[in-house]
């Protein structure tokens, strides 16, 4: 069954985007993992499936490189208006998102963050603004749900190999029953944060949109920053604006690289 796909990215966080509205494409963890494989497949951090929706213009399904289907992907959400050539209301597992075309990318209303321990989720009740937990030299992080789960550590600069070692350990800690995206944030000023993200199901990526949202929200809640905040990731900058009680506005680039064709029966 031959089908077309688009290779896209948001600051180097890369995607295979498949429009399955006319021709449904049955998706499994195994097929998603095979498509995402950078040696035996097409290669991406996340596979994005566009399907029909009764509640919005389209439905977006998100699969990590490890095949896990998840609720939200900020960088991919910015790619959908470019992919469709129009502003778009998108149904996701985390709710409806408004994505508008902007110069070089998109502006996305990422909805409201959640902070209750059982909305992150965590394995048991605790303060999520300053969690009473630690791993090696990292302690007292914040936890935020942006549709997907994030833990945010504030500290100094961290090397990528250290972020990978600690990220892999923390991602699968039993305190996070659905695993977690691990954010290593360095506050440069009240309006500028440097961020490295170990992503659940994908590992270190060049950027993480929901990670940038979670980190800016946690920094604002802790009085370390004030919106709008520039979040500098290895792949580039995102602009995140949020005030307590409101929804998160994320602005940043989206890039279409090439289109291709594949026989999906081979995956
Ligand atoms: N790894 C994430 C999904 C992709 C998020 C990221 N690529 C973004 O831009 O938000 C998770 O398992 O929740």
Q: What are the start and end residues of each CATH 3.10.310.10 domain in the chain?
A: 2-106+254-266, 134-246
Cα gap 93→81, rounded to integer Å: 18
> Is 73 annotated as catalytic?
yes
Please give the C-alpha separations between residue 38 and each of 80, 93, 163, in angstroms, as whole numbers: 22, 26, 21
Please choose from 121, 200, 231 the residue to mutate so as to test ligand 1's pocket, defined by most ligand atoms within 8 A of CB. 200
* Binding pocket residue ranges, ligand 1, CB within 6 Å: 13, 45-46, 62, 64, 70, 73-75, 148, 181, 199-202, 205, 208-210
pLDDT value at residue 180: 99
Q: Which residues are annotated as part of the binding site for substrate?
A: 13, 46, 64, 74-75, 148, 181, 199-200, 209-210
CB 109 within 8 Å of CB 249: yes
How many angstroms does the Cα of residue 181 sit away from the middle of ligand 1? 7
Whose tokens are 């949202």? That residue is: 213
Q: Please give the CATH architecture assigned to the domain spanning 2-106+254-266.
A: Roll (3.10)
> Is 44 annotated as catalytic?
no
Q: Which residues are annotated as part of the binding site?
A: 13, 46, 64, 74-75, 148, 181, 199-200, 209-210
CB 238 within 8 Å of CB 250: yes
Specify the pTM.
0.98
The residue whose CA is least distant from atom 5 of ligand 1 is 73
Phi, psi of 2, rounded to the nearest 5 degrees: -75, 145
pLDDT value at residue 1: 84
ipTM: 0.98
Structure tokens at 68: 């896990």
Helix (H, G, I), strand (E, B) or coil at 220: helix
Question: Class of the 134-246 domain?
Answer: alpha beta
Going residue by residue through the chain, which has 267 residues, state the pLDDT in tens, using 9 for 90 and above.
899 999 999 999 999 999 999 999 999 999 999 999 999 999 999 999 999 999 999 999 999 999 999 999 999 999 999 999 999 999 999 999 999 999 999 999 999 999 999 999 999 999 999 999 999 999 999 999 999 999 999 999 999 999 999 999 999 999 999 999 999 999 999 999 999 999 999 999 999 999 999 999 999 999 999 999 999 999 999 999 999 999 999 999 999 999 999 999 999
The residue whose CA is least distant from atom 3 of ligand 1 is 73
- E strand or H helix at 78: helix 74-84
Which atom of ligand 1 is closest in space to residue 179's alpha carbon? 12
Please choose from 67, 97, 210, 211 the residue to mutate so as to test ligand 1's pocket, defined by most ligand atoms within 8 A of CB. 210
């Amino acid at each position: 069954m031959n089908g077309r796909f688009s290779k896209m990215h948001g600051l180097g966080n890369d995607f295979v985007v498949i429009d399955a509205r006319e021709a449904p494409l049955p998706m499994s963890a195994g097929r998603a993992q095979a498509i995402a494989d950078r040696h035996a497949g097409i290669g991406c951090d996340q596979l994005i499936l566009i399907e029909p929706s009764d509640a919005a213009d389209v439905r977006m399904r998100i699969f990590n490189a490890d095949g896990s289907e998840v609720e939200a992907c900020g960088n991919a959400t910015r790619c959908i208006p470019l992919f469709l050539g129009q502003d778009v209301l998108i149904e996701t597992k985390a709710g409806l998102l408004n994505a508008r075309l902007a110069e070089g990318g998109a502006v996305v209303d990422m909805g409201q963050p959640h902070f209750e321990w059982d909305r992150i989720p965590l394995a048991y009740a605790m303060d999520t603004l300053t969690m009473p937990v630690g791993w090696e030299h990292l302690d007292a992080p914040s936890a935020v749900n942006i549709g997907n789960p994030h833990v945010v550590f504030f500290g100094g600069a961290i090397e990528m190999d250290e972020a990978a070692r600690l990220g892999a350990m923390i991602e699968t800690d039993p305190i996070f029953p659905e695993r977690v995206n691990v954010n290593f944030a360095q506050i440069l000023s009240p309006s500028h944060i440097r961020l490295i993200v170990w992503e659940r199901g994908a590992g270190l990526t060049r950027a993480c949109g929901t990670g940038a949202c979670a980190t800016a929200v946690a920094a604002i809640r802790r009085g370390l920053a004030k919106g709008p905040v520039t979040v500098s990731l290895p792949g580039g900058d995102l602009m995140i604006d949020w005030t307590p009680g409101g929804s998160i506005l994320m602005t940043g680039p989206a890039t279409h690289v090439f289109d291709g064709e594949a026989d999906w029966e081979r995956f």
